[in-house]
Amino acid sequence: MPDPAETEITPAPKTGQGRPVDTSKSAAIIKAARDQFFKIGFAQTSIESVAAQASVSKVTVYNRFGTKEALFEACVEAECNIMRDSLSIEDMVSGDLRATLVGFGMNMIAFLSRDEMTRFERHLAVEAEHNPDIGTLFLNAGPRRLHGALSALLDQAVAAGKLTIDDTALAAEHLAGMIKGLADLERRFGQDDPDHFATTQKRVNSAVDLFLKGYGRSAQ
């Protein structure tokens, strides 16, 4: 899976009259904002510091994103787009379903277990206590979007006759929850697993097998 810090993010340019929008500036702003949001949190990040790191003016940041909240949302969406790229509808429908789900699970754990993600979640938990709207922004731009993407892929597998699921949103929650398991909570509290990769492989494979046993056509 590509390193999110090295992945070029190019937001769609705004439409309308006038000169074309320089998308490289928007990408630089998001990269700088992502770096600061993840390292020091939402409250400590300022538009001024983001503009300085991105080598643009403060006015440019406001013109592109409007508010710090909107910039935060754009950063979270960009991160989740990277994660969502690991989900392929084509593979889900025509390829090896088990291999696709295992690959999704391994990518999800790799994405969530980065040190910077752990720091970001800790900052966010503190800030959301004082500003619940920030928590809502994160959930809507991040986890809920990913959950919707996984649900949509399960819909495709159902349509292709590979799975039998009445409620794909609930099934997606089952799968993601089993994949994360207790290890996700341990990660948040700084309990490192020295054999992380091997235990993750075992947990993901087990979760997918249980999921397919419950929702696979052969189980009906």
CATH of the domain at 54: 1.10.10.60
* Domains: count for the chain: 2
**Same domain as 71, residue 96:** no
Helix (H, G, I), strand (E, B) or coil at 185: helix
Same domain, 32 and 131: no
Residue 145, exposed/middle/buried by CB under 10 A (0-12, 13-18, 19+)?
middle
Three-state SS at 216: strand
Do residues 65 and 133 share a domain?
Answer: no
pLDDT of residue 74: 94
Please check whether residue 69 lies inside any domain of the structure. yes
Give the integer Cα–Cα distance in Å for 205 and 207: 5
pLDDT along the chain (220 residues), means of 10: 40 47 88 94 95 96 96 91 69 77 90 88 90 92 89 91 95 96 88 85 97 77
Burial class of 130 by CB neighbour count within 10 A (0 to 12, 13 to 18, 19+): exposed
- Identify the domain containing residue 51 by its residue range: 4-75
Do residue 212 and residue 184 come from a single domain? Answer: yes
> DSSP letters along 146-177, please?
HHHHHHHHHHHHHHTTSB--S-HHHHHHHHHH
> In this structure, is residue 80 part of a structural domain?
no
For residues 140 and 209, membership in a common domain is answered with yes
**197: domain CATH number?**
1.10.357.10
- Residue 193 pLDDT: 78
Q: Are residues 114 and 183 in the same domain?
A: yes
Same domain, 66 and 101: no
Rg of the Cα trace of the chain?
Answer: 19
| 43 and 110 housed in the same domain | no
Is position 81 within any domain? no
